[in-house]
């Protein structure tokens, strides 16, 4: 990680540690402090700071708004964990497991309220644009989550609708994080749009890479169980392409594993990956990942701040792209 990114990360962690969301009742606010305090990559607030730094030097001034982005992200995680019945988040108990579901719902609700409270201190001339951009992003995140749950009930979905789902569920918040930095720095409108599109495209690339890593990562480097998506029948880019391309022999074999209620996990992962290998869907996914990353970086070519100014942002993004976990 670059020295600039390290500085930003330290600032973000200190700002989070010092932020007071509320005090009473403790059972409402303690879960927020707990979830915000158990770490994470802090990717979104980092991108807000990097985007702002393209135009202005007083980066620390916008830390509260970068934390608002991270708070919204964690609000979505708190509610997603309830919907997914997830027991762990970042290696720690999820809020609904440590407390209970009703507390997690209410704590998540008040987190969203606090995001608006944080954003309301934006300068008057920027607040309407900020809230409009945030509202559009927040609604799309919810739409993406609902599409994801809807797809669980469907046997097959198309590549196009899957890409749109991950664009909404994951990528638009990365896009907003960058756009917010531009808005707060009073960057030209065209630059704010380019920053948002950069974030959306690399966000799609990140999710597709997650799909790929889940099946093919080095177990020693991957932060979770390799093959977890296969075990759970999660509709990933790899599964979608396999269902689309499977021949008359592979199709029933794949369907058998998707319908199986009782199975050996290692055997299922190996069998499904064998079909992936036969069809070359790993390589297809890698090409699609690179397509969206290239598309994202091309969005930065039009920025008015110049190539030299965007070097830190590009280096940070390239470092994230090269990750193996």
Residue 198 and residue 173: Cα distance in Å, rounded?
A: 12
The structure's pTM equals: 0.93
Condensed to tens digits (0 to 9), the pLDDT of residues 219-268 reads 766 555 678 899 989 999 999 999 999 999 999 999 999 999 999 999 99
pLDDT at res. 309: 82
Domain architecture of the chain: domains with CATH: 1-121 (1.10.600.10), 135-325 (1.10.600.10)
CA-based nearest residue to 46, from 24, 15, 75: 15
Averaged pLDDT, 53-65: 96
Between 84 and 224, residue with greater pLDDT: 84
Condensed to tens digits (0 to 9), the pLDDT of residues 7-18 reads 999 999 999 999
**Residue 132 CB: number of other CB atoms within 10 A?**
11
Condensed to tens digits (0 to 9), the pLDDT of residues 145-161 reads 999 999 988 989 999 99
Angle at 160 between CA 156 and CA 163, to 5 degrees: 100
Residue 247 and residue 251: Cα distance in Å, rounded?
A: 6
pLDDT at res. 175: 98
Distance of CA 94 to the CA centre of its chain: 18
């Amino acid at each position: 990680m670059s020295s600039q990114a390290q500085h930003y990360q330290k600032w973000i962690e200190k700002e989070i540690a010092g932020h007071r969301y509320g005090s009473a009742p403790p059972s409402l606010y303690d879960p927020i402090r707990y979830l915000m305090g158990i770490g994470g990559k802090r990717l979104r607030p980092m991108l807000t700071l990097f985007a702002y730094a393209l135009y202005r030097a007083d980066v620390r001034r916008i830390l509260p708004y970068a934390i608002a982005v991270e708070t919204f992200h964690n609000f979505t995680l708190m509610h997603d964990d309830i919907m997914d019945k997830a027991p762990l988040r970042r290696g720690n108990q999820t809020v609904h497991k440590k407390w209970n579901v009703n507390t997690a719902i209410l704590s998540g609700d008040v987190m969203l309220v606090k995001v608006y409270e944080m954003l309301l201190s934006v300068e008057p001339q920027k607040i309407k644009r900020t809230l409009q951009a945030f509202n559009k992003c927040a609604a799309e995140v919810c739409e993406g989550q609902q599409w994801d749950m809807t797809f669980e009930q469907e046997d097959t979905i198309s590549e196009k609708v899957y890409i749109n789902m991950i664009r909404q569920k994951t990528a638009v918040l990365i896009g907003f994080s960058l756009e917010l930095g531009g808005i707060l720095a009073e960057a030209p409108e065209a630059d704010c749009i380019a920053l948002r599109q950069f974030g959306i495209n690399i966000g799609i690339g990140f999710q597709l890479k997650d799909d790929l890593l889940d099946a093919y990562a080095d177990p020693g480097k991957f932060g979770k169980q390799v093959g977890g998506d296969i075990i759970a029948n999660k509709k990933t880019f790899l599964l979608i392409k396999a269902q689309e391309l499977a021949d008359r022999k592979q199709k029933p074999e794949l369907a058998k594993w998707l319908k199986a209620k009782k199975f050996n996990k290692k055997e299922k992962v190996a069998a499904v990956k064998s079909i992936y290998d036969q069809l070359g869907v790993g390589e297809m996914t890698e090409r699609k990942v690179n397509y969206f990353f290239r598309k994202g970086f091309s969005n930065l070519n039009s920025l008015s701040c110049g190539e030299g100014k965007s070097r830190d942002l590009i280096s940070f993004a390239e470092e994230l792209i090269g990750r193996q976990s």
